[in-house]
Amino acid sequence: MADGNTSKDRIGQAAAILNSILSSPDATSSVTCALNEGPPVTARSDSVETELASLFRAGAASRSSAVTPGNQGPSLAGPSTPRFQAQQCFGPWSTSKRRRPKGIQYHESFNKEVILLPDSTWEVICKPPFKQYLHENGHILSAFEFHKSWDYHTVIQQIRNGFGSTIPQNVSLQIVMGCGNKLIAPKLQDGQQLNGQLIQRVFRSKALYVRPSQTLLEDPEERSTTTYQVSPRTTRAMARSKQFSTIENPIVHSNELESFHQGVNYSSFCSHDTIEANIPPYFQTSSQSSASVHPNSISTSTSATNFNPSSTSEVCQDETTAHASANYSTYLSVMSNVSDLSSEDEEMNHAILASIETHLSETSSKTLHVKDILEDLSKKIDNGMNCKFNVNRSAVLDGAIRGFKRVTYNPHFSMNVKFSDDFGRNEEAVDLGGPRREFLRLLIDALSISPMFEGPDDCKNLAMNSTALREDKYFMAGRAIAVSLVHGGPAPRFLSPVLFSCLVGGPNAACPTLKDITDAELHEKLKKVSESLTVEELQRATDPLFDYMASAGCIRRLTTIRDRDLLLHDLLMFHVVHRVQGPFQRFEEGLKTLGVLDAVKQHPDSFQSLFCYEPQQLTADMVDDLFTPRLAPEGSNRRRVEEAVIPLWRDYLQDAEDEGSSKLENILVFATGAKEIPPIGFSPAPSIEFLHESSEECSSKRMLPMANTCVNCLKLPIITSYEVFKENMDYALGNTQGFGRL
């Protein structure tokens, strides 16, 4: 009875709630709207293009997601967006300019593959099978290190040292390069040689081939017992297939592989004759058995994987995958050979690498002229401060050392040089540029003949001098060269390439030769060692060198003739480089003055012509272009007579050039105090003025030329006769004793 009353009460409560809902106008209207509104109708795409447009276009996306008019639901807080919002802001299609990375370091050395050809008749590039044969016989140096400072003879000698006993001493070498499938000798201009810098430019990323004058390696046809093939990749499926084939069918599927090769279109890659023409006869046999595979044959592996899952077993999967893997491995091995035979991709890669290497190298030495580098270093000089040098012409080096050792000396201060003659009287010169250039010119000349250096005049190395080492003169020599370059003096131009290589790349970068040995007796003994052809001759040649070899730490057993080159190299390195490490370190410290050594290491190509000798002679045109005439106003009487002197001056320069470049140097010394054009240039620029009869400077009856080296000004007399003009010029040049002394 109680349960019945409870159910009646619940029904009554539900009826009351329903009546309250129906009696509410808001609830009634909400239910009516919900019943009248149907499901949202979305736009369907009629085609793939419409669907893509709706995804990737903002306008289409909004249109496709809109509801049909007439069935408007409650408004949303924001505009509707597609479920997958694609990126709307696309960048421009044009590529932006890439900026060069800053701070790229210059590398003095570079690595290159060097391939030693078997004989003198080899005229085609080496392909991978034959390259493996050369590699096994020691005819390939994969990453041989070249230095840009090497000359041609150093390059050849270093290649000999790299291959060791593979190249006999009596065999000459020729450097050739690949051009397509052929080997050719690089064509150079007259006077050019393949030095280290030129090899980097010409060969880029190509391999460097070396052709010997004699046969060094036997013909590959005689080595028929060896095979050179590319091993296919081994997968787990191939391994399992091998297990099954060993049990069920131990014979290789040669018939299937042969039928696989018969469907190949060889013309899609290259002609078969081309392959035979570029592969040695021994390797043609192995290459013919693995012909080129058409890429469409890879579909075998693709179709083999589309199987029915209901009717498969692990054995069928392994066998099918094994066949596909074998075919694909064969395709890879053949394509590797075909890609080597086509030089288009290789040339493209070379061009890309060459472009990158060009950008790296051009940001170092080739983008900055040495004059710009020195002008940048000279900005550190404070012209408001000066250091005094009291110099006698007969002892310029001693006067320079005294000035450098003075406590108040600072290389960043300007130099004030005062000369005195042999009698101790002061010369009439106040340094505004001319005496300083004269002093630096005499200082560099004194260094070249000092006992701190030895060797020919144009190729000097450091000498071991205990007195100079004790008095720290090697440091002063390095400082003198650095100061001369930055303060407007001449360049040394007498250091050897070996010494310059040590300055740029350290002692290990040096490669001395017999010409660097100045001791005649030692040179003769080492020459006999280099000319030894047998072990007995080598032992006899080294007997007189026993004490010297002991000092150099080169005592060793000489069992084969191959020990000769290594012994000779060690002795040369000891005498030219290691023996003078103490002087070299102090000389290097001196060159750090004003940041010169750091600039040399960053731009060795620019500075090499300043440190090492290169033939450079003054010409009449160079001197004429150097001086700018300062003429009187146009239309005046002075202008007319001054213009008549200019042809006489140019004729005199031409006659001086015919007599020899030394006379042109004397003219430059007379006018500027410098024997050559300084690497940093003249400041101010040289000029020509004229001495008229009415001027105070032309009071003497004999009108002689005058010069003001402080401002690099040459004053020419007004003379109409060329014979008189030439006589007066010769007299002035031959009787000048100093500044203001004639």
By residue count, the chain amounts to: 742
- Pairing type for strands 713-717 and 687-691 reads parallel
- Phi, psi angles (nearest 5°) of residue 45: -80, 130
C-alpha separations of 296 from 233, 258, 264, 284, 302 in Å = 20, 16, 9, 25, 10
Q: Where are the alpha helices (DSSP H) in 362-492?
A: 370-378, 396-405, 434-448, 466-470, 473-486
Under 8 Å between Cβ of 709 and 739: yes
Give catalytic residue positions: 710
- Phi, psi angles (nearest 5°) of residue 525: -70, -45
CA dist 599 and 373 (Å) reads: 8
CB atoms within 10 A of CB 252: 10
CA angle (619 as vertex; 616, 623 as ends), nearest 5: 110
Torsion (CA) 542, 544, 549, 550 in degrees, nearest 10: 130
CA dist 274 and 583 (Å) reads: 60
Task: Say what angle helices 604-611 and 370-378 make with each other, to 10 degrees.
Answer: 90
Rg over alpha carbons for the chain, rounded to the nearest Å, is 43
- Identify any residues that bridge with 738 across adjacent strands, giving them in sequence order: 741
Counting DSSP H helices and E strands in the chain, the numbers are 31, 13
CA dist 176 and 621 (Å) reads: 40
Cα-Cα-Cα-Cα dihedral sign, residues 146, 152, 154, 157: positive
Q: Where are the alpha helices (DSSP H) in 164-211?
A: 196-203
